Structure 1
Amino acid sequence: MTATRVPGPPGLPLIGSLLDLKRDALATYLAAHRDHGDVVRIQAGPPGLRAEIWMVFSPEAVQQVLATDAAGFRKDNVFYGEIRESFGNGLLTSQDADYLRQRRLVQPLFTRKRVDRYADAIGAESEALAARWAAAPDATVDLAEEMSRFALRTVSRILFGQDVEEAVETVHHAFPVLNNFVRDRAFSPLRLPRRWPLPGHRKALAAERTLYEVCDAVIARRAAQGETGSDDLLGLLADARGEDGEQLDATELREQVLIFLLAGHETTATSLTFALHLLGKHPEQQALAHREVADLLADGRRPTAADYAELPCLTRVLKESMRLYPAAPAVGRRAVADTVIGGVPVPAGADVLVAPYVTHRHPDHWDDPERFDPDRFTPEREAARHRYAWFPFGGGPRACIGQHFSMLESVLALAVLLRAFEVTAVDTDVPLGQGITLELGGPVRVRLTPRG
């Protein structure tokens, strides 16, 4: 099968679109869709090292890749390979028998009933954050920094219980180093061996080592103390048994913990950052959210899991924020065999990228797509829209296992923070980039006004 009929940007003669992707991958994707349609081939790199990426933008084509023909598209690409090397072969990156085994063991820990038990921990961390904000100098905070620490503390508390403090600082400093390392290697046409003693390699390997050590120390201490029946996620993972008595060994426990830390804090932090940022730019929407929270939590109590369903306005705000700023702006697969996507031939072995950042702006499915409008997510409008016009949690058999946890944490945290404060955006434009997750190129500051 040839790809000569596939439209796409011509790029530069020797390196294709490599510089465009490095400079601004998200803008390159948007331009490719605008100029060339719903299935586009992008070439990047010099001859002999050139990568070819088939970009898929329509909801129908996304559904094919992630759901209806999911078995034909594997996580065998360079990006997942780099994540696997740094964070281990956990649920995000594993495949085949490994994935099925892990999913069987982990799935019962993420049922709605089980996740709802973490609402009190989410509320406690949210209230602690609101108390810190009340003492913020100049009544101004950087949401990017604050939400990253909040989401990390929350997922660490749920993972590690009383061992939360041991993990938070290590993860907070190590994750950005590894994220940048993975991104740079994934976008580079030439990847030198990780063990070569280059400055960037040494820095990344040191970060990886500290992450492994803090996780291994907590796991080893739990095993030595013979702790069982713990309600934190690490204890539940350690106690999890398959039908034949199988369980996760120490290395697998660490790999699952690292993936949960990665997926459970950066994605939620991004969603919360932009939900508050957008409300800070749209006071009329913020007023509606304040009214909903004030009516529900008038007595000042901590919100519970049962309150999640009673906060539809906040949920719509969150979903619209995730439409405009999906935490995973692009998701890759590799085609198993020759196939056709959207009428375009795609050869076996091709790298295929679906891009929520672009599909969430598809003009055939979203009117005035850059406008912030939470009412796009009323039940009636959601039901009328293609299932894969909005897919911040992926879809199909590899959909995010932590979807309910992320939504619950985000909505309850927004309720606590908006009960306490009005927010006004200071930084109205935020530079964006693509790493493992959506990257922010600067601060996202808001000014806080306490509410009575």
Structure 2
Amino acid sequence: MTLGVLLSTTRIPGPPGLPLLGSMFDLKRDPLGTYLSGHREHGDVVRFTAGPPGLRVELFGIYSPEGVQQVLATQAANFRKENVFYEEIRQSFGNGLLTSQDEDYQRQRRLIQPLFTRRRVDGYADAIGLETEHLVERWSAAPGGAVDAVDEMSRFALRAVARILFGADLEAALDAVRVNFPVVAHYVTARGFSPKSIPRSWPTPGNRKAMAAERSLYEVCDTIIAQRAAAGGESEDLLGLLAAARGEDGERLDPTELREQVLIFLLAGHETTATSLTFALHLLGHHPEVQRRAREEVDALLGDGRRPTAADYNGLPYLTMVLKEAMRLYPAAPAVGRLAVQECVIGDTVIPAGANVMAAAYVVHRHEKHWPDPERFDPERFTPEAEAGRHRYAWFPFGGGPRACIGQHFSMLESVLGLAGLLRAFEVEALDPRDVPLTHGITLEATGPVRIGLTRR
């Protein structure tokens, strides 16, 4: 036993949990609350154990901005996407930009990065505006003047990203994606959080259902890709741009790689944005004065009723602050996992080689050293002066370091312009208590509806 391993088993504090199962039930019942209580009781690095002897898993929660910076940025090479959760995503959605590593990742990033420059992403604003207009029409006819923001924002974000990906083929893909995507995502989550999963090849009802959903997703993507290839020519939707992308030596994405990138973009591009929009509306509904100020900004810029453009994004600084504060309290990626390759030190704690570590935005975004009165909703935390005075990793909803989310400007653009269109059309009222029951799978999830009352302006 090395000195580091010895220290790791004696120095890292954490909840004792049950004698045989550790914190397994707490992590399953209330993972976010368990992370938070672990931080408050044991500090910035917390060791959890879960599962019966022989299947026990250790998880090291990293809860300081400085520790997160080590994991995601300064020592990123030592913290790899080789844990069980990422492997389950690879098995179901393919080895796209979210899950690939080393040469595969570098090659994909070289090919795809030019499609996510700010100028290129700004070109998607019209599609976002069109889907926002459709949503306003839909909400204007909402029974009882109320909607479930969880379902509605998921639908909106999925339609927007699918329109940008597939263009004219939007409707051909949408039904298959809407029906099958949640099935696969929940299957991945269940397997990723289980101490031991049965083989995917076993013909259990759960496996069969998930495999059928995977096949349906693959088929709709493969069909559209094959039709595009047969038709020739180029299209300006994201799938067309991906197919046309070439590296310096002429390298390109083959059809399987195209499908994998499309699935990853669907996964990362709609669930995260939907979460941010859901809770932004929920918080605005609980804080009418903040809503009034945000609406005044929107009306001053877009009072003529025109469709918002990318140029309007910078003209909505307060609405952007509202969104950022919602993303602080409800980060769409509440915890990011990695596997430590070599023994290292975070703070004054030795992390052993082979350890599963978790950089938890949900906890760091509530760290009282960086966020006074952390549960209070206050968009003023995100003035330019306040942001400049904080640690870079006190707020990291899009990750950081060399694996920072390639689509963060797209997500912000879609969220700000979408919110602007909705606030121009409606006054919103939160119909549920401020504290919504939460859990997390691939992304943060409300465990029930988040109801919003609507008054047409």
TM-score normalised by the shorter chain: which range applies? over 0.9
Is residue 271 of structure 1 aligned with residue 289 of structure 2?
no
- Give the aligned residue type for 2:425: A
Alignment size in residue pairs: 450
Is residue 166 of structure 1 aligned with residue 172 of structure 2?
yes
* Deviation of 1:255 (Å): 0.3
Output one character per residue of 1:359-411: Cα deviation in whole Å (capped at 9) or x when no partner. 00001100110010011000000000000000000000000000000000000
Question: What residue in structure 2 maps to residue 417 of structure 1?
Answer: 422
Is residue 376 of structure 1 aligned with residue 376 of structure 2?
no
Question: What residue in structure 1 maps to residue 359 of structure 2?
Answer: 354
Question: What residue in structure 2 maps to residue 70 of structure 1?
Answer: 76
The CA distance in 1 between the partners of 2:440 and 2:16, in whole Å, is: 22
Q: TM-score normalized by structure 1?
A: 0.99
* Deviation of 1:182 (Å): 1.2
Is residue 225 of structure 1 aligned with residue 215 of structure 2?
no
Counterpart secondary structure, 2:61: strand
Is residue 44 of structure 1 aligned with residue 50 of structure 2?
yes
The CA distance in 1 between the partners of 2:427 and 2:354, in whole Å, is: 51
What are structure 1's unaligned runs of at least 5 residues?
A: none
The CA distance in 2 between the partners of 1:95 and 1:417, in whole Å, is: 39
- Give the aligned residue type for 1:29: Y
Output one character per residue of 1:313-366: Cα deviation in whole Å (capped at 9) or x when no partner. 110010000000000100000011011111101111111100000000001100
Counterpart secondary structure, 1:48: coil
Question: What residue in structure 2 maps to residue 330 of structure 1?
Answer: 335
Question: What residue in structure 2 maps to residue 205 of structure 1?
Answer: 211
Counterpart secondary structure, 1:332: strand
Is residue 398 of structure 1 aligned with residue 398 of structure 2?
no
The CA distance in 2 between the partners of 1:222 and 1:377, in whole Å, is: 44
Q: 1:157 aligns with which of 157, 160, 163?
A: 163
Q: 1:21 aligns with which of 10, 27, 30?
A: 27
Is residue 99 of structure 1 aligned with residue 93 of structure 2?
no
Is residue 446 of structure 1 aligned with residue 446 of structure 2?
no
Is residue 298 of structure 1 aligned with residue 303 of structure 2?
yes
Q: TM-score normalized by structure 2?
A: 0.98
Output one character per residue of 1:243-278: Cα deviation in whole Å (capped at 9) or x when no partner. 000000000000000000000000000000111110
Q: 2:324 aligns with which of 290, 314, 319?
A: 319
Counterpart secondary structure, 1:43: strand
Counterpart secondary structure, 2:429: strand
The CA distance in 2 between the partners of 1:35 and 1:235, in whole Å, is: 51
- Give the aligned residue type for 1:411: V
Question: What residue in structure 2 maps to residue 309 of structure 1?
Answer: 314
The CA distance in 1 between the partners of 2:180 and 2:325, in whole Å, is: 30
The CA distance in 1 between the partners of 2:116 and 2:254, in whole Å, is: 20
* Deviation of 1:214 (Å): 0.7
Counterpart secondary structure, 1:340: strand
The CA distance in 2 between the partners of 1:201 and 1:342, in whole Å, is: 42
Output one character per residue of 1:123-177: Cα deviation in whole Å (capped at 9) or x when no partner. 0110110011111111111110000000000000000000111111211121211
- Give the aligned residue type for 2:365: H
Question: What residue in structure 1 maps to residue 221 of structure 2?
Answer: 215
Counterpart secondary structure, 1:443: coil
* Deviation of 1:188 (Å): 1.2
Question: What residue in structure 1 maps to residue 86 of structure 2?
Answer: 80
Question: What residue in structure 2 maps to residue 7 of structure 1?
Answer: 13
* Deviation of 1:179 (Å): 1.7
The CA distance in 2 between the partners of 1:329 and 1:48, in whole Å, is: 28
The CA distance in 2 between the partners of 1:440 and 1:210, in whole Å, is: 27
Question: What residue in structure 1 maps to residue 119 of structure 2?
Answer: 113
- Give the aligned residue type for 2:426: F
**Within 5 Å, which residues of 2 pair with 1:229-244?**
230-244=235-249
The CA distance in 1 between the partners of 2:66 and 2:358, in whole Å, is: 14
What are structure 2's unaligned runs of at least 5 residues?
A: none
Is residue 35 of structure 1 aligned with residue 52 of structure 2?
no
Counterpart secondary structure, 2:30: helix
Runs of 4+ in 1 over 4 A off after TM superposition: none
The CA distance in 2 between the partners of 1:264 and 1:73, in whole Å, is: 24
Counterpart secondary structure, 2:55: coil
The CA distance in 2 between the partners of 1:335 and 1:253, in whole Å, is: 30
The CA distance in 2 between the partners of 1:342 and 1:203, in whole Å, is: 45
Question: What residue in structure 2 maps to residue 175 of structure 1?
Answer: 181
- Give the aligned residue type for 2:395: W
Counterpart secondary structure, 1:400: coil
Question: What residue in structure 2 maps to residue 433 of structure 1?
Answer: 439
Counterpart secondary structure, 1:433: strand
The CA distance in 2 between the partners of 1:202 and 1:364, in whole Å, is: 48
Counterpart secondary structure, 2:128: helix
Q: CA RMSD in A?
A: 0.7
Question: What residue in structure 2 maps to residue 250 of structure 1?
Answer: 255
* Deviation of 1:31 (Å): 0.7
The CA distance in 1 between the partners of 2:166 and 2:375, in whole Å, is: 39
* Deviation of 1:227 (Å): 3.0
